[in-house]
Chain A
Amino acid sequence: MRNKLLYVLAGVAAVLLARNIYLIAGLPDEAAQGAIFKIIFFHVPLAITAFCCGTVACIASILYLVKKDMKYDTVAVSVTEVGLAFLAGNLITGSIWARVIWGIWWAWDVRLTSALVCWILYASYLMIRHAIEEPTQRATLAAVVSIFAFLDIPIVILSIRLFRTQHPGPVFLSSTGSFPHDWTMIIFGPLGNQLALLLIATVMTMVRLGQEQSQREIDALRREAHAF
């Protein structure tokens, strides 16, 4: 049943992506930036997906600290790892976009720096987990780190509103933005790229959850083997 659901979700995501890539390829180039501007159709959904993963990880970590149930720790680690991959994609696409438009690969402005710090925080969350052997201690410390790392997400989101940055200001759902409605729908519409990437992240998280459960089974078998 679980595998069937995985295949269905992955199939829907693939169809949505194919549809959106077809639509994006047919759009005209942006007047000032040219073709490179089309990278926004992946750059922004990658970031939003990563931040959704961070939010779920934070909620799961809080629930773990309250209920001390290892299943919440499993959810937190699975979703964090997937979010890290998506945030890496966002940072890389942003850097390539910057190289064309700004002439530089990176600028140490608040948006870019806070996004990089966010990636480093979640990477350290995973490293801390590898460093601690005892499961309960590992889950507790990791939950605290996950909540701390989540604090950076609002900073990343609000940085372009609160500070003067090299990164452009908000263009979606904002009074200052001028993103055409039909282009916005390709990202945020009911069949948009955002939904496609969220579905991919969900599939990856479900696969990762299964692996964490297998890891716990291995730990139980090891304990049994030691007991002999």
Chain B
Amino acid sequence: MHLFSPILLAQAVSPDDIQREYERLQHNFHFLSYGLIVAWLVLAVYVMMMVGRERRLKREIASLKAMLEERQHK
């Protein structure tokens, strides 16, 4: 019989081992989620910064154009 048959393995594995393995997998999965959330969050924050900058630039262009027009009328 093969040394690592499923029956022998099942006998060797205790409920504590299963619980430990379950916790390890949960821990792994949580960290995977954190990693992916943070990576996308960095890019999302950068996109939000770009949106904010876009608004500021448009405001600034509009106010400068208005100021120049006002001066030309004077």
* Residues of chain A at the chain B interface (Cβ within 8 Å): 29, 33-36, 38-39, 42-43, 46, 82, 85-86, 88-89, 92-93, 96-97, 99-100, 200, 204, 207-208, 211, 214-215, 217-218, 221-222, 224-225, 228
CB distance from A223 to the nearest CB of B (A): 10
In the complex, which residues of chain B have a beta carbon less than 8 angstroms from the beta carbon of A86? 43
Chain A: CB-nearest residue to B38: A92
In the assembly, what is the distance between CA of A7 and CA of B26, in Å? 38
Is B46's CB under 8 angstroms from A225's CB? no
Is A36's CB under 8 angstroms from B28's CB? yes
The interface bits of chain B over 6-49 (1 if a CB of A lies within 8 angstroms of the residue's CB, else 0) are 00000000000000000011011101101110111011001100
Is A225's CB under 8 angstroms from B64's CB? yes
Number of inter-chain CB pairs below 8 Å:
87
Is A93's CB under 8 angstroms from B28's CB? no
Main secondary structure, interface of A, reads helix
Is B39's CB under 8 angstroms from A92's CB? yes
Q: Known contacts A89-B43, A218-B57: does B65 contact A96 (CB below 8 Å)? A: no
Is B32's CB under 8 angstroms from A36's CB? yes
| A43, A82, A93, A99 — most chain B CB neighbours (10 Å) | A93
Is B32's CB under 8 angstroms from A92's CB? no
Is B42's CB under 8 angstroms from A100's CB? no
Is B68's CB under 8 angstroms from A225's CB? yes
Is B34's CB under 8 angstroms from A218's CB? no
In the complex, which residues of chain A have a beta carbon less than 8 angstroms from the beta carbon of B61? 214, 217-218, 221
In the complex, which residues of chain A have a beta carbon less than 8 angstroms from the beta carbon of B2? none
Q: Known contacts A35-B25, A214-B61: does B46 contact A204 (CB below 8 Å)? A: yes
